[in-house]
Amino acid sequence: MANIFKNLLKPESGSAKFLLIAFVLFFFSLEFLPFLEPIKQFLDADELSVSIGESKFSAYLIIQGTLIIATLLWLTGILSDIAAKFVKKIPGINSNNRNLITKALQILIYFIAFQIGMNFLGIDLTALAVFSGALGIGIGFGLQKITSNFISGIIILFEKTVQNDDLIELNDGTLGFIRNTGSRASLIETYDGKEVMVPNEDLITNRVINYTHSNKKARITINIGVSYDCDIKKAQELILKAASEHPKTAKNPEPLCFLREFADSSVNFLLLFWINDVIDGRYGPQSDVLFSIWEKFKENNIEIPYPQSDVHIKESKSE
């Protein structure tokens, strides 16, 4: 509701803004202008009232309360934004701690606003005790997911298993950077520019791969087959050289090349090498190393064979 009021009070909202302001001014003028007293009495009549426990709520009080609460929410939203901007300007605080402080301030602001609203309306919360059981059950079912996501967001911020700007991969294959952990969902920006909103609960209950949790190194795997006619020792040497020469290849651990199998058409090697920063990407270094291997093989007459199979045609003997 606070967001609705924010949007309505924007200058570009045009007539909606003036209608809202006119309605608020007209309603609250009922308290001060005597010639509008009949309207107030009509809204305050018993026929338009509902009773909860020992308290009676007229249409006038309900509308007044709605406007007061909406105004408080609107002001609370503005204060929350101011608090968030203030926290962002504090130096020496990492993004996760900044989010924690911001959320704590927002909860405190909304709690204070709620108390002020109830006191301003003169509503005794004990009058609602009749509905406390049903209300609690309704809130339990209706807000179950919202509460779960909210608590999961707090757990994520405290545990720091995933933080802003971490590169993660979800169960469904979504790969991207965490840009923000909100109260309900976390924003993941993928490599192709998509912004995916992921419920915080999914980051807690599902398996998440974090490529940058403790370090940014990543291993690249390449499978290569060479002909049976070539010098396999030389082939292994050239493969390792191609990986070691790449500028993004890590020196520790060093590249490794293993002879894996004597297959039907080729002798197969497995190349493993590490890059220092996975955020820069893995496909680029992998492609560069493959090009280098191809060129070195050409220079040294090492052949990468095509798949081959022998077909034997058996002729039947005629009688």
pLDDT, tens only, 240-249 = 999 999 999 9
Question: What pTM does this model have?
Answer: 0.56
Amino acid at 92: G
Q: How far apart are CA 308 and CA 104, in angstroms?
A: 67
Q: Which residue ranges in the chain fall short of pLDDT 70?
A: 1-68, 70-71, 74, 92-100, 117-118, 120-143, 308-310, 312, 316-319
C-beta separation of 18 from 10 below 8 A: no
The rounded distance, in Å, linking the Cα atoms of 214 and 314 is 62
So what's the pLDDT on residue 10?
47
How much is the pLDDT for 8?
44
The pLDDT of residue 297: 94
Handedness of CA 24, 30, 31, 34 (dihedral sign): positive
Residue 108: predicted pLDDT = 77
Q: What confidence tens digit (pLDDT) does each residue in 71-101 have?
A: 677 677 777 778 777 777 777 666 666 666 7
Which domains are assigned to the chain? 2-127 (no CATH), 163-210 (2.30.30.60), 218-299 (3.30.70.100)
The reported pLDDT for the residue numbered 12 is: 41
Does residue 240 contact residue 230 with C-beta atoms inside 8 Å? no
